[in-house]
Amino acid sequence: MTDLISSIKQAEITHSLTESEITSILKDDTVNEILFDSADKVRKKYVGNEVHLRGLIEFSNICRCNCCYCGLRKDNSTAQRYRMTFDEIILLAKKAKDFGYKTVVLQSGEDAFFDTDKMCKVITSIKTLGLALTLSIGEKSYEDYKAYKDAGADRYLLRIETTDKNLYQKLHPSMSFENRIRCLNDLKTLGFEVGTGCLVGLPAQSDKSLARDILFFKKLDADMIGLGPFIPCPKTPLQNEKGGTLIKALKVMALTRLLLPDINIPATTAMETLQENGRLLALQSGANVVMPNVTDEECKQKYTIYPGKAGLNNTAQEYKNSIVKKIESLGRTISQDYGFHKKRV
């Protein structure tokens, strides 16, 4: 057995790898099948065969930020902007519940229109439906996060995007790496289930940097990790960059599963966008969550963080039918519970 294979096999039991081991595994594509197989075994042992479906509502694409990779960035004047009303959001949450989804994920650009009171009103109403609620609405103050928690929000997704501070600063004009970390720490302190993650294949991002991202997830003791390939988006400063590959994103995800064996990991849309059935490959390489989009057709078309997003031409009902079939074809089942992070000691 090569050293790398024995490191992977060892990590299946110890859930620990060094930065240099992770970097070497990321560099060497001859160990991919073994890595994916090990992550799949660890997923099965710790979180079982159930797949959690979380209904995604993209309720506003208006954003005050200028993240260089994202089509929703403020300076992209070609983006067609929309903002849902309170009633529209609640209607979609009810639709998600009717589909049998136990969690709703509310995602948006950083839209100041949704101030603390408006957000809390939405949160309270969704919680009366008996759903678990995840927020993915960006950087806020401790007080805002506390208000969301007090209103009943259960989880919060905020990707670190990259732990390379220099790269982070280059890609996020007028934002600070320190504030990103502060947000994640505040969310932890307040008792949210915290999700973070990174973009894979950013310009000048090395395998060593990705290894550090994975070790950061472990140090943060994250409850969920969502990651995917960076896909270049027209009308953004990174439009001519190469972008990430599905394989590298799957490798980062599989290594994350080895190191954080009991967390929730979604098979992301960006993976499916790069390759048909990318999401199924992810489910066989460590993932145990899928986030079907319940956003209505018109808004979904305008939530263009990158081009060619998978699922744009399917209705929510069609999407649900097809994903359930695919999941069952893998011998996996759809979870009937809320899918909170069940920590195993």
Residue-wise over 166-204: b if at least 16 C-beta within 10 A, else e?
ebbeebbeebebeebbebbebbbebebbbbbbbbbbbbe
- For residues 110 and 154, which CB has a smaller minimum distance to ligand SF4 in the complex? 110
70 touching ligand SAM, by CB under 6 A: yes
What the block records as the tokens of 80 is 């067609």
Report the relative pairing of strands 155-157 and 132-136 from DSSP bridges: parallel
311 touching ligand SAM, by CB under 6 A: no
**The only residue of 70, 135, 158, 254 in contact with ligand SF4, by rule CB under 6 A:** 70
138 touching ligand SF4, by CB under 6 A: yes
137 touching ligand SF4, by CB under 6 A: no
136 binds, among ligand SF4, ligand SAM, none (CB under 5 to 8 A by kind): ligand SAM
Instruction: State in angstroms the smallest separation of the CB of 311 from ligand SAM.
Output: 14
**The only residue of 43, 52, 54, 73 in contact with ligand SF4, by rule CB under 6 A:** 73
159 touching ligand SAM, by CB under 6 A: yes
| CA 195 to each of CA 10, 76, 157: distance values in angstroms, whole numbers, following the listed order | 26, 27, 4
73 binds, among ligand SF4, ligand SAM, none (CB under 5 to 8 A by kind): ligand SF4
**The only residue of 5, 65, 147, 312 in contact with ligand SF4, by rule CB under 6 A:** 65
Part in contact with ligand SAM (CB under 6 A); list of ranges 76-84, 158-166, 183-191, 333-341:
158-166
Phi and psi dihedrals of 31, rounded to 5?
-100, 5
CB atoms within 10 A of CB 294: 28
55 touching ligand SAM, by CB under 6 A: no
158 touching ligand SAM, by CB under 6 A: yes
**The only residue of 22, 60, 89, 109 in contact with ligand SF4, by rule CB under 6 A:** 109
Rg (CA), the chain: 19
Instruction: State in angstroms the smallest separation of the CB of 159 from ligand SAM.
Output: 4
272 touching ligand SAM, by CB under 6 A: no
58 touching ligand SF4, by CB under 6 A: no
Residue partners of 37: CB distance under 8 A and separation at least 6: none
- Would you say the C-alpha torsion 268, 273, 276, 281 has a positive or negative sign? negative
Instruction: State in angstroms the smallest separation of the CB of 60 from ligand SAM.
Output: 9
Contact 252, 281 (CB under 8 A): no
Please state, in angstroms and rounded to a whole number, the distance separating the CA atoms of residues 41 and 181: 32
201 touching ligand SAM, by CB under 6 A: no
Please state, in angstroms and rounded to a whole number, the distance separating the CA atoms of residues 51 and 62: 31
Q: Report the site for ligand SF4 in 289-318 (rule: CB under 6 A).
A: 305
**The only residue of 11, 53, 56, 63 in contact with ligand SF4, by rule CB under 6 A:** 63
Q: Report the site for ligand SAM in 86-145 (rule: CB under 6 A).
A: 107, 109-110, 136, 138
67 touching ligand SF4, by CB under 6 A: yes
199 touching ligand SAM, by CB under 6 A: yes
Q: How many CA atoms lie within 13 A of 180 on its CB side?
A: 23
Instruction: State in angstroms the smallest separation of the CB of 214 from ligand SF4.
Output: 21
Q: Which residues bind ligand SF4 (CB under 6 A)?
A: 63, 65, 67, 70, 72-73, 109-110, 138, 305
